[in-house]
Amino acid sequence: MTEPELGFEVEDVDPALAAAVLEIETHIASGGWDQPARLYALVDTAALVEHEPALAAAMGLDESSAQGSFTPVEQDQLATGQLLEAALETIMWPDQVVGCAAVVERLVLPPDADIELPEDPAAAEAVAREHPLRQEVRIVAGATRAGATYCALRLRSHDDDQSVVTGTDLVPGLIDLLCTTLEEETDQ
């Protein structure tokens, strides 16, 4: 028996990464809007339980909850005025970090609004803030060393858990930056 054609591509989702991204999204959503960008290291929960039992116990983790999951570890806040994207260009994670995730709030405009934006970034931001079709969005994007990616998007205008949009490649530029931080350094 052959598989039926679905007419669309089914995404391969890493359930551990998806769970970690959604856990971060839920945690951040509980704090409301207008929050600073945040960065998380994702560590293998089983390794955390094995190597840091006291910390794991304090977090309520045990061997049964550890199998096949990631624990998000929030990093220090970015320097005042530093953009997340610029910070990601300078980060290389240690081997114990199996993935990472970032949270950022942005204004998005409809695709045809790009022609109206000035070249100057500050002026473009001012135009975007006043655009009648702007949307405020919170993005949580994650990636692993194994190549898995996952994103969760929440619009301020539809701020409820049932309206969170998820997928593996919703924010390709941010995903690419996260993946770059996980690449092994090569001697050149």
Residue pLDDT, tens place only, 30-61: 999 999 999 999 999 888 878 787 877 777 76
Calculate mean pLDDT across residues 72-85: 88
Q: Note whether 97 and 42 are within 8 A (CB).
A: yes
**pLDDT for residue 70 is more than 70:** yes
Higher pLDDT, 138 or 133: 138
Tens digit of each residue's pLDDT (9 = 90 or more) over 148-176: 999 999 999 999 999 999 999 899 999 99
pLDDT at 6: 45
Model pTM?
A: 0.82
pLDDT at 188: 40
In this prediction, residue 131 has a pLDDT band, given cuts at 50, 70 and 90, of confident
Instruction: Kindly list the domain boundaries of the chain, sorted by start residue.
Output: 15-42+71-181
pLDDT at 112: 74
